[in-house]
Amino acid sequence: MMEPLGWGIAALILYVAAEVFSIMHLRSDAKVHSTLATVLLLLGFLVHLAALQIAARVTHAVPYRDLAASMSFFAWMVAASYGVLLLRHREGSTGPFLIPIAILFLGASLVANPQHLAGADPKLSGPIFAFHVTMAILGYASLSLSFVLAQLYLIQNRQLRRRQLGLLFSRLPALDVLSSIHRTSVALGVAALTIASVLGLIWAKQNWGTYWDPKVLFTFLIIAIYMLTLFPRRIGWGGKRVAFVSIGGFMLLMFSYTIVNLFITQEHVFR
Amino acid sequence: MSALVESPLLLVGWDYRQTPVELRERLAFPPDKVREALNAMRHEGLLAEGVIISTCNRSEIYGVRGVAMGDRDPFDAVTEFIARFHGIPQLEVDSSGYRYSGGEAVRHLLRVASGLESMALGEDQIIGQVREAFRLASGAGATRSVLHRLFQKALETGKRVRSETGLSTKPISIPGVAMELAQKIYEDITPRKFLILGAGETAGIFFDLLVARGAKNIEVANRTLARSEELCRRAGKALPWEDLATRLPHADIVVSATASTTPVITLETARQAMALRRGKPLFFLDLGIPRNVDPRISELDNAFLYAVDDLQEIAERNRQERQKEIGPALEILEEELQEFVSWFGALAVVPTVTALRKKFESIRETDFDRQLEKMAHIAEGDREKIRLMAQSMVRSLLRHPTEAIKEEPDPGRRLDRAEAVRHLFALDVEAKD
């Protein structure tokens, strides 16, 4: 049987091919290119799943032990989230900007070459913990897509307002479509992050006897901020403000993922 | 191209480039006149086949020379007929227009179908008009093998040019640009709320365009209510002018085309409307000269404002981009032209007769002579006699069909017969081997 590394490389090649056809679709607007891109992405997703499966069989856990493995898992979740957006909105023109996130993280993971160590702390292997990590990574993945989508919205908005209609103008979808794709990805991210937090709290109570972890505070703050962008009409926000807040939310998420993990709490570090 | 020099295929036409609109109007053919003219021209033996393309920018008669043309100049014969048909003095008809035959006529039709001859380069309507002209002529029984194939080729070329080049993609008219912009804010404009200010010509054009595009929610406000009511007879809702400020917050797209010399939408009105919209975008199209909408509105959040000058600038840029697509379009056109020309060239008498003879001879050689060789019990001398008999039989078999093609006086029918022979004996298949 092929090693996880082999499957990972195969998945990477398929993602890159999907990206190439996405770009060709953006240039030509030909249906055949977007169909090919979708098929290649789906194949990449399945091959990537196989790679993760094989790794998981070795470690008997969701791949979160080492940074390299978790990056691959993150990339897979990015592909999954983008698949959800495609299915929901049938709009492939954002692909060229979103698929690279998966390529980047899977590529980085392969370069770092994960070790797939078995037999870590048994406390970190229960189903609640595994589900907590899975949902958290799905949340991060969806919100990364939101981050890029918010920027695409701002680009399109700026082109329209400044009356500078560049190449991207004719190929990017309408503002209302970009808004609604962004909304879907934020909703997916917020839902996943909320489930992850609740599971994390349950697990913390069971294992530490307390709900307290500074990361919880940050995560709830981030969820609250993103929630605002889901109901812009209620609070009278336009698309531009929603996009800015979404970008701000993502910055905070990155802060929470790096600084908070490293310096404030000791429990969220990849070892 | 040489195959088409002495071609039976001809084109006589008048278009906006050389012919003034007054004459073009008199040269136009409404559908029933198309049928009548085609029937008459065929009846008189001027044309064996014919198609008439008649739009407000052009009248063109495509034909295959008929039997009664004799030694007359076919172009003169057709223009004489047209002058007679429309009751226009011959001199006037001859004063402008163009005449092409063979490959040049084919190229012209492909250019027309691709939108390269249109006043608005690359416009889309013409391909429908060419299709309709072909349909009318076919319905009148005026097309046979040549024009059938030619018009199929023209429609195919038009389609290819539109899908493979950018000749027709970006809009070059003010309403076209306006709609493209609107659709970059709201992708589907049909459920959107439109507010049209003014009920003059420009407002009317936009009203019709929106109805045609399926907009379901249109309100029209005009200082004289009766005029907006007039516009809204078929669809939409007429508003009293005073309702402008109260209806503005409900609109998604505002089209302003009034003759007012002062802004009809002030910064303050717009600011109040935007506050009530709670972040929903509002697209202002200011088509008034002087401007109807305060330009400062473009600085408000979620408000998008385009004035006539902006639209014109985009249209001009798109027009320049279309110019760049002429080269790629011509490449496609020449490719399709070559394909038609080689088909048409093969349809001429000499290649058809030669191909037919070759076919028969090859059957005689492969099927008959070879079998004869195997019959050892027949003496060599007898075999030679049998071989000669077979050769003579093939000649006899070929004599009548060859004469029927060669000596047919009607060029259109001659082409039909050549086409039939090529088809029945699969000569084109043979030629490709």
With CB atoms and an 8 Å threshold, state whether B279 touches A169: no
Instruction: Note whether B235 and B302 are same-domain residues.
Output: yes
User: Mean of the per-residue pLDDT values for chain B?
Assistant: 91
Max avg pLDDT among A51-65, A123-137, B271-285 = B271-285
The tokens describing A161, both together, are 């307002």
- Which of these three, B276, B301, B317, is where a domain ends? B317
- In terms of Cα–Cα distance, which of A132, A23, A149, A32 is closest to A81? A149
* Whole-number Cα distances in Å, A137 to A80, A190, A191, B75, B103: 11, 12, 12, 78, 66
Domain of residue B42 covers 2-167+325-344
Write out pLDDT tens, residues A7-32: 999 999 999 999 999 999 988 777 89
Model pLDDT, residue B331: 96
Write out pLDDT tens, residues B53-106: 999 999 999 999 887 777 788 899 999 999 999 999 999 999 999 999 989 999
Nearest-Å Rg of the Cα atoms of chain A is 19
Q: What is the CATH number of the domain that holds B132?
A: 3.30.460.30
Average confidence (pLDDT) over A42-68: 83
Residue by residue, DSSP assigns A91-158 as -GGGHHHHHHHHHHHHHHHHHH---------GGGGSHHHHHHHHHHHHHHHHHHHHHHHHHHHHHHHH
Residue by residue, DSSP assigns B322-367 as HHHTHHHHHHHHHHHHHHHHHHHHHTSHHHHHHHHHHHHHHHIIII
User: Mean of the per-residue pLDDT values for chain A?
Assistant: 87
Percentage, residues of chain B above pLDDT 90 = 72
Instruction: Note whether B20 and B79 are same-domain residues.
Output: yes
B292 near B263, Cβ under 8 Å?
Answer: yes
Candidate from A160, A233, A234 with C-beta closest to B185:
A160
Which is catalytic among the residues B56, B259, B289, B393?
B56
Provide the chain A residues 174-213 that lie in CB contact (below 8 A) with chain B: 174-177
Whether residue A221 is predicted with pLDDT greater than 60 in this model: the reply is yes
Instruction: Note whether B161 and B19 are same-domain residues.
Output: yes
Instruction: Note whether B305 and B330 are same-domain residues.
Output: no
Domains held by chain B: number: 3
Residues of chain B in contact with residue A90, where contact means CB-CB under 8 angstroms, are none
Q: What is the CATH number of the domain that holds B272?
A: 3.40.50.720
Instruction: Note whether B377 and B266 are same-domain residues.
Output: no
* Whole-number Cα distances in Å, B180 to B187, B208, B285: 9, 16, 12
Candidate from A170, A176, A240 with C-beta closest to B187:
A176
pLDDT tier, A261 (very low <50, low <70, confident <90, very high otherwise): low
With CB atoms and an 8 Å threshold, state whether B304 touches A161: yes
With CB atoms and an 8 Å threshold, state whether B302 touches A239: yes
Write out pLDDT tens, residues B383-406: 889 989 999 999 999 999 888 888
**Which of B164, B184, B324 should be substituted to probe chain A, the one whose Cβ sees the most A Cβ atoms within 10 Å?**
B184
The tokens describing A3, both together, are 């090693």
B286 near B310, Cβ under 8 Å?
Answer: no
Whether residue A213 is predicted with pLDDT greater than 80 in this model: the reply is no
Instruction: Note whether B186 and B224 are same-domain residues.
Output: yes
User: Does B304 contact A at CB distance below 8 Å?
Assistant: yes
Write out pLDDT tens, residues B205-249: 999 999 999 999 999 999 999 999 999 988 899 999 999 999 999
Instruction: Note whether B190 and B288 are same-domain residues.
Output: yes
Candidate from B184, B187, B306 with C-beta closest to A169:
B184
Which residues, at least 6 apart from B306, have a Cβ–Cβ distance to it below 8 Å?
A: A163, B178, B181, B283, B284, B285, B286
* Whole-number Cα distances in Å, A69 to A47, A115, B157: 15, 8, 54
Candidate from B183, B281, B310 with C-beta closest to A239:
B281
- Which of these three, B290, B309, B344, is where a domain ends? B344
Residues of chain A in contact with residue B185, where contact means CB-CB under 8 angstroms, are 160, 174-176
Instruction: Note whether B25 and B150 are same-domain residues.
Output: yes
Instruction: Note whether B14 and B146 are same-domain residues.
Output: yes
- List domains and CATH numbers for chain A: 121-271 (1.20.120)
Residues of chain A in contact with residue B280, where contact means CB-CB under 8 angstroms, are 233, 238
What stretch of H or E contains A161? helix A127-162
Q: Which single residue is written with the structure tokens 């608005």?
A: B120
pTM of this structure: 0.78
User: Does B261 contact A at CB distance below 8 Å?
Assistant: no
Q: How far is CA B412 from the centre of its chain?
A: 24
What stretch of H or E contains B94? helix B90-94
Instruction: Note whether B206 and B256 are same-domain residues.
Output: yes
User: Does B306 contact A at CB distance below 8 Å?
Assistant: yes
**Which of A29, A94, A161 should be substituted to probe chain B, the one whose Cβ sees the most B Cβ atoms within 10 Å?**
A161
Question: How many whole angstroms separate alpha carbon B1 and alpha carbon B344?
Answer: 10
Instruction: Note whether B355 and B414 are same-domain residues.
Output: yes
Instruction: Note whether B301 and B395 are same-domain residues.
Output: no
